[in-house]
Structure 1
Amino acid sequence: MTVSNVINKRSSKVSADTVTKIEKAIEELGYVPDYSARSLVSKKSKMIGVIIPQTETHKQFLLENPFYSEIVSGIESKLREKNYYMMLTGVDKDSNYLDVLINWNLDAAIILGIYQEGFYEQLKKINIPVLLIDSYINDGFFYNLGIDDLYGGYIATKYLIEKGHQDIAIITGHLKKEGVAEKRFLGYKKALDEAGIPFNINYVYADSVSYECGITAGQKIIEECQAVTAVFATADLIAAGAIASFHAADIKVPDDISIIGFDNLSISKMTYPLLTTVDQKIFEKGMKAANILMDTLKSSNSKIEKSVILDIEIIERNSVKNMKSKR
């Protein structure tokens, strides 16, 4: 029992001398705990699953998007601090999430960006805490963590309008109903409507959340919409691609065209010029997700918030020109 207490960090009632002797013996014997056996006894695996649906067409998308890298890093760092382990996987469009959750013997799971269709009702049969990130499913069954994406799209577009821009294009991912991209798009339309600026469908470029999408859309804006003076890119990765296409065409940012992104990824501090963007503190978002699950596993307290909306703000850098200052 004494040895078990020391191994499991419950050594408050064990003398310092005894702890030292046991730790020395562990080192000399090369003892490693059998976590599989331990999980069978305790019925706890200390494993948290993180599942990222592969919503884009290409299969290598899991960590190609730096958004996922940052949020997963935040989750993992907090779980490690709490002596938990993370299992990470992508799930293809037609795959069954339930197989992953059941086979892994998880204590809890985090799922990013899912929609209320098909498997969702089946997911409710899993008897572990589940946290959804960036999912507009609000039936109160699972824990939810996200931001107000509609408001984010609104403040990004309003920022451009306040700088004197009226011909504002938007480059976005697929506009799927009740998805993050659609919410940001609706925020864009709301800001235009509030300012009395007519919505122009020709200024909408919807494809995928990728650098390549930004390049292609940027080229189309150059060729088809020469009146456009500003672009709202619903992800920094898209914005970086658009900036690259503008540079290639010798169109200067922000002198000739302005652009604002969304996320405040590390890439936004590497573009030229540095990218003005909507900050959603992604690393901290990941840590918050892990903390919510840790709280649910420690306590069955019904006062733990089921839905948490995090604050966002605009980070001003150098990619937006103030048109009013020139008048």
Structure 2
Amino acid sequence: MKRPGLKDVAEKAGVSIATVSYVINNTPSQSLSPETIKRVNDAIKELGYIPNLAARTLVNNKSNLLGVLIPQTESGKELMFSNPFYGDFMSAAEYTARKSGYHIMISGADSGQTYAEVARTRGLDGVIVVGMNDDEECRQLKTLNIPVVLVDSYCEVSGFHRVGVDDMQGGYMATKYLLEKGLRRIAHVTGHVNDRGVNFLRHKGYEKALGEYGVSPVKSLLLSGEVSFEYGCEMGEYLAGMDERPDGVFVSADILAVGLCMGLRGRGVKVPKDISVIGFDDSLLSKTCDPPLTTIHQDVAAKGAEAVKLLINENHTLQNKVFPLTLVERGSVR
């Protein structure tokens, strides 16, 4: 069966093709009577007409499509959706966008492909980039001439809206809490620690808290790798097998911390009786973990919603939104 087009809708409603286009695109410069608008919408409904979004983009130079570019765990691997952080972030971003008539496209970047290339080929009205620390990537994003919001990103290129938390303060808060409980041999399990970024800053906060208590960092207690449940399990087993175990662990993400607790438990090490564990994020996993996880709370959903609002509100004054962090005490620290 032939798909109905603008001409079919116009004939059904008894109006011109241009009038149908004005109604579909809600063209503000055209004054149409309520009766005409109703006839067109009734015809669209009766015929089952579906607007061609690609054609509308060409006409209006606006796609109502926003991009969210998310890092991959490693080149060629899947996006990091096993981490609840991204589910919470995307759920809020998608809902906020949909309420304002926008849709969300989610993508990573293939090997050798930049985030800017991904955005440019999709005709996006705006881009949210999560975890961007590469200055050259940021410089290329500036050439897009569309709004860009950087989330949890630490590139040094200016000219972007930014949304995040004080990651160094979060690492400090978590480690200081363990120190206040009398723990001194504290490990840090985290994602890859580079020379900048979320993991780097949370580790600097960890070191700052240790220094205030006169505790020197122990190189063998910094364990960095993938932010995944599996890596957490692996590190839990590793710590359980150490001759001199830590008495506390600051873990830079709840998904890692839950895996760590399972790895420890599998080797007969009890949390918090033998080793205390504190996480970061306050995801749903932290509440369902056994024992429930003490963690640093960040409002991930608010970050997702705010990033979308900064794109669609067309605020030309650059914003740097830093959300607060709070400590949530549960049962994983003695």
TM-score, with normalisation over the residues of structure 2? 0.87
User: What is residue 126 of structure 2 aligned with on the other side?
Assistant: 108
| Aligned with 2:112 (options 80, 83, 94) | 94
User: What is residue 308 of structure 1 aligned with on the other side?
Assistant: 321
User: What is residue 63 of structure 1 aligned with on the other side?
Assistant: 81
User: What is residue 136 of structure 1 aligned with on the other side?
Assistant: 154
Is contact 1:273–1:319 with CA below 8 Å preserved after alignment?
A: yes
> 2: distance between equivalents of 1:310 and 1:138?
20
User: How far has the Cα of 1:98 moved from its partner?
Assistant: 2.6
Is contact 1:111–1:132 with CA below 8 Å preserved after alignment?
A: yes
User: What is residue 325 of structure 1 aligned with on the other side?
Assistant: none
Alignment of 1:217-256 (within 5 A): 217-224=235-242, 226-256=244-274
User: What is residue 169 of structure 1 aligned with on the other side?
Assistant: 187
* Unaligned residue ranges in structure 1 (runs of 5+): 322-327
User: How far has the Cα of 1:5 moved from its partner?
Assistant: 5.6
Deviations 1:77-129, CA, capped at 9 Å, x for gaps: 11111100111111145322232111101111111111234433233211111
Change (3 A) 1:225 1:199: farther
Matching of residue 291 in structure 1 with residue 304 in structure 2: no
> 1: distance between equivalents of 2:61 and 2:35?
32
User: What is residue 4 of structure 2 aligned with on the other side?
Assistant: none
> 2: distance between equivalents of 1:205 and 1:122?
33
User: How far has the Cα of 1:261 moved from its partner?
Assistant: 0.4
Higher-Rg member (1/2): 2
Q: Give the letter aligned to residue 38 of structure 1.
A: R
Structure 1 window deviating more from structure 2 (125-134 vs 12-21): it is: 12-21
> 2: distance between equivalents of 1:17 and 1:58?
55
Q: Give the letter aligned to residue 120 of structure 1.
A: C
TM-score, with normalisation over the residues of structure 1? 0.89
Q: Give the letter aligned to residue 123 of structure 2.
A: N
Deviations 1:44-82, CA, capped at 9 Å, x for gaps: 111111111224366123322222222111111111111
Identity of aligned residues (%): 39
> 1: distance between equivalents of 2:136 and 2:158?
18
User: What is residue 194 of structure 1 aligned with on the other side?
Assistant: 212
Structure 1 window deviating more from structure 2 (1-10 vs 39-48): it is: 1-10
Deviations 1:231-270, CA, capped at 9 Å, x for gaps: 1000101101110011112221112211000011111112
Is contact 2:159–2:318 with CA below 8 Å preserved after alignment?
A: no
Alignment of 1:71-86 (within 5 A): 71-86=89-104
User: What is residue 59 of structure 2 aligned with on the other side?
Assistant: 41
User: How far has the Cα of 1:7 moved from its partner?
Assistant: 3.6
> 2: distance between equivalents of 1:93 and 1:144?
26
Structure 1 vs Structure 2 CA RMSD? 2.2
* Unaligned residue ranges in structure 2 (runs of 5+): 1-17
Change (3 A) 1:44 1:191: same
User: What is residue 276 of structure 2 aligned with on the other side?
Assistant: 258
